[in-house]
Structure 1
Protein backbone atom coordinates (compact mmCIF):
# COMPACT_ATOMS: atom_id res chain seq x y z
CA UNK A 1 0.00 0.00 0.00
CA UNK A 2 2.89 2.38 0.72
CA UNK A 3 4.27 1.78 -2.74
CA UNK A 4 1.03 3.03 -4.34
CA UNK A 5 1.24 6.28 -2.37
CA UNK A 6 4.82 6.87 -3.52
CA UNK A 7 3.85 6.11 -7.11
CA UNK A 8 0.90 8.53 -6.88
CA UNK A 9 3.10 11.27 -5.43
CA UNK A 10 5.70 10.77 -8.15
CA UNK A 11 3.00 10.86 -10.83
CA UNK A 12 1.60 14.08 -9.36
CA UNK A 13 5.06 15.68 -9.43
CA UNK A 14 5.61 14.63 -13.04
CA UNK A 15 2.22 15.98 -14.08
CA UNK A 16 2.87 19.24 -12.26
CA UNK A 17 6.26 19.55 -13.94
CA UNK A 18 4.83 18.88 -17.40
CA UNK A 19 2.06 21.42 -16.79
CA UNK A 20 4.67 23.98 -15.71
CA UNK A 21 6.75 23.37 -18.84
CA UNK A 22 3.72 23.68 -21.12
CA UNK A 23 2.57 26.80 -19.28
CA UNK A 24 5.99 28.40 -19.53
CA UNK A 25 5.86 27.94 -23.30
CA UNK A 26 2.20 28.81 -23.91
CA UNK A 27 2.04 32.01 -21.85
CA UNK A 28 4.79 33.91 -23.75
CA UNK A 29 3.45 32.55 -27.02
CA UNK A 30 -0.02 33.87 -26.26
CA UNK A 31 1.41 37.28 -25.38
CA UNK A 32 3.40 37.30 -28.63
CA UNK A 33 0.36 36.35 -30.72
CA UNK A 34 -1.82 38.95 -29.02
CA UNK A 35 0.76 41.73 -29.51
CA UNK A 36 1.57 40.69 -33.08
CA UNK A 37 -2.08 40.61 -34.13
CA UNK A 38 -2.68 44.00 -32.47
CA UNK A 39 0.33 45.44 -34.26
CA UNK A 40 -0.88 44.02 -37.59
CA UNK A 41 -4.39 45.39 -37.05
CA UNK A 42 -3.05 48.80 -36.12
CA UNK A 43 -0.86 48.87 -39.24
CA UNK A 44 -3.13 47.39 -41.90
CA UNK A 45 -6.73 47.10 -40.69
CA UNK A 46 -7.34 50.30 -38.73
CA UNK A 47 -5.40 52.47 -41.16
CA UNK A 48 -8.49 54.34 -42.42
CA UNK A 49 -10.56 54.14 -39.24
CA UNK A 50 -9.66 57.61 -37.99
CA UNK A 51 -10.47 59.19 -41.37
CA UNK A 52 -13.90 57.49 -41.44
CA UNK A 53 -14.61 58.71 -37.93
CA UNK A 54 -13.67 62.28 -38.89
CA UNK A 55 -15.98 62.16 -41.91
CA UNK A 56 -18.91 60.83 -39.87
CA UNK A 57 -18.54 63.58 -37.26
CA UNK A 58 -18.92 66.30 -39.90
CA UNK A 59 -22.09 64.71 -41.32
CA UNK A 60 -24.18 64.72 -38.16
CA UNK A 61 -27.94 64.96 -38.56
CA UNK A 62 -29.56 68.06 -37.04
CA UNK A 63 -31.64 67.36 -33.96
Structure 2
Protein backbone atom coordinates (compact mmCIF):
# COMPACT_ATOMS: atom_id res chain seq x y z
CA UNK A 1 0.00 0.00 0.00
CA UNK A 2 0.92 3.68 0.14
CA UNK A 3 2.66 3.29 3.53
CA UNK A 4 4.88 0.51 2.19
CA UNK A 5 5.81 2.71 -0.76
CA UNK A 6 6.60 5.64 1.55
CA UNK A 7 8.84 3.44 3.70
CA UNK A 8 10.62 2.11 0.61
CA UNK A 9 11.26 5.67 -0.60
CA UNK A 10 12.48 6.75 2.85
CA UNK A 11 14.79 3.72 3.01
CA UNK A 12 16.29 4.54 -0.39
CA UNK A 13 16.76 8.18 0.62
CA UNK A 14 18.54 7.16 3.83
CA UNK A 15 20.86 4.85 1.88
CA UNK A 16 21.50 7.50 -0.79
CA UNK A 17 22.45 10.06 1.87
CA UNK A 18 24.78 7.57 3.54
CA UNK A 19 26.52 6.84 0.23
CA UNK A 20 26.79 10.57 -0.52
CA UNK A 21 28.54 11.17 2.81
CA UNK A 22 30.87 8.23 2.16
CA UNK A 23 31.76 9.67 -1.24
CA UNK A 24 32.70 13.02 0.34
CA UNK A 25 35.18 11.02 2.40
CA UNK A 26 36.70 9.43 -0.72
CA UNK A 27 35.26 6.00 0.11
CA UNK A 28 35.11 3.31 -2.54
CA UNK A 29 32.42 1.30 -0.77
CA UNK A 30 30.12 1.19 2.22
CA UNK A 31 30.16 -2.10 4.12
CA UNK A 32 28.26 -3.57 7.08
CA UNK A 33 25.14 -1.59 6.17
CA UNK A 34 22.21 -1.55 8.55
CA UNK A 35 18.81 0.08 8.08
CA UNK A 36 16.31 0.53 10.89
CA UNK A 37 12.75 1.78 10.87
CA UNK A 38 11.38 3.04 14.18
CA UNK A 39 8.16 4.78 15.16
CA UNK A 40 8.48 7.44 17.85
CA UNK A 41 5.32 9.21 19.02
CA UNK A 42 3.61 8.59 15.70
CA UNK A 43 6.58 9.64 13.57
CA UNK A 44 8.41 7.03 11.53
CA UNK A 45 12.19 7.42 11.54
CA UNK A 46 14.36 5.61 9.00
CA UNK A 47 18.09 5.45 9.73
CA UNK A 48 20.97 3.81 7.95
CA UNK A 49 24.51 3.20 9.07
CA UNK A 50 27.57 1.60 7.59
CA UNK A 51 31.33 1.77 7.41
CA UNK A 52 32.94 3.77 4.62
CA UNK A 53 35.81 1.77 3.13
CA UNK A 54 38.69 3.01 1.00
CA UNK A 55 40.77 0.60 -1.06
CA UNK A 56 44.54 0.82 -0.99
CA UNK A 57 47.04 -0.45 -3.51
CA UNK A 58 50.25 -2.11 -2.44
CA UNK A 59 53.37 -0.13 -3.24
Please report the TM-score for the alignment, with normalisation by the length of structure 1: 0.40
In our comparison, the structure showing a higher alpha carbon Rg is 1
Higher strand share: 2
Greater helix share, structure number: 1
TM-score (norm 2): 0.42
Ranked by relative contact order (alpha carbons within 8 Å, sequence separation 6 or more), the top structure is 2
